[in-house]
Amino acid sequence: MLFDGRKVILAPMAGVTDEVCRELCIQQGAQLTYTEMVSAKALSYKNEKTQDLMRLSPAEEQVSVQIFGHEPETMAAQAATIEDVMGERLFAIDVNMGCPARKIAGKGDGSALMRNPELAADIVRKLKSAVKHPVTVKFRRGYELDNETAIDFARRMEDAGADAVAVHGRFAQQFYRGQADWGIIARVKEAIAIPVVGNGDICSGADAVRMVEETGCDAVMIGRGAQGNPWIFADVRSQLEHGVPAPAPSIEERMALAKRHAWLLSERSGRNIVRMRKHAMWYVAGLRGAPMIRGKINQASTYEEFASLFDELLELNR
């Protein structure tokens, strides 16, 4: 089975799961990571920023590269290039058919492919003919609100040769509002023979256990629940493997990891450490003094500034 030994997965999140974020999640227990979604079209133009999205951390033995687009030949050609460049460090090529963002779906990419299942299946067939590594697909319950198409879509992906699918339990038109329906994950699992990964609203180890029990999914994929909370992977692993929760991190551990995150970004990304601002907001959420310090976070642009703010919060919360 494709995900044997890799039941706890970090979801691809645009603007979030760069190499540093993925490294910290691996160190806390994530068993497989996905890159941020990569534009096949931009790769075909050899766009440097797009190529940077596939840079791996030293902690990553293998990674799934998620690509998006709607042109089968372009996507297949770029998948083959990714395979050649990454070699054995590539786990799978994943096709994004679930992103609801207007700038993606509005161009016919991401979740818009759920409205054109014939094209979606052709993309999978073309990729399967171009690469030796597994090809997987991530999609949603459906595109239009209350129009559930995921079961038929999953069957089409399986027939086209997909090696596994990941299902997010919301409609694309919901974006991230409301609650994910895990029932659709169970229905897809019953409908197809290839592995199914469950995604949506896993915020703790207990949630992961419940999803597996309710859906029978082969692996769980954690996205927003990991934002500012890499420790979720330790908790999920502990509850799935041993039936007990992992100890919650202390305030000292939270701020130490936040500082490490900022340090790694400053070392590897230079001026791009400003991307730490969103991570910092997540790390400090719920702490005493967090509302007061958010404005300072939005002005921080060096490791020293971020570290000072985390130290300040540490003192306020001891």
Per residue in 190-217, pLDDT tens? Answer: 999 999 999 999 999 999 999 999 999 9
Which two tokens mark 253? 């551990």
pLDDT at position 270: 60
pLDDT at position 178: 94
Residues 6+ apart with CB under 8 A from 6: 31, 32, 219
| Catalytic annotation, pick one of 21, 99, 203, 217 | 99
The angle formed by the CA atoms of residues 84, 223 and 137, to the nearest 5 degrees, is 45
Q: Does the annotation count 25 as an active-site position?
A: no
pLDDT at position 1: 76
pLDDT at position 27: 97
Contact 62, 34 (CB under 8 A): no
pLDDT at position 269: 65
Q: How far apart are CA 289 and CA 29, in angstroms?
A: 30
The single-letter code of the amino acid at 227 is: Q
Determine the 3-state secondary structure of 137 from DSSP. strand
pLDDT at position 52: 81
Report pTM. 0.95
Which residues in the chain land under pLDDT 50? Answer: none
Distances, alpha carbon 51 to alpha carbons 39, 131, 214, in Å: 9, 19, 39
pLDDT at position 242: 97
- pLDDT one-digit tens code per residue, 286-313: 999 999 999 999 999 999 999 999 999 9
Contact 17, 34 (CB under 8 A): yes
Instruction: Evaluate the CA torsion angle 215, 217, 223, 226 in order and state its sign.
Output: positive
pLDDT at position 221: 98
What are phi and psi for residue 79, nearest 5 degrees?
-60, -40
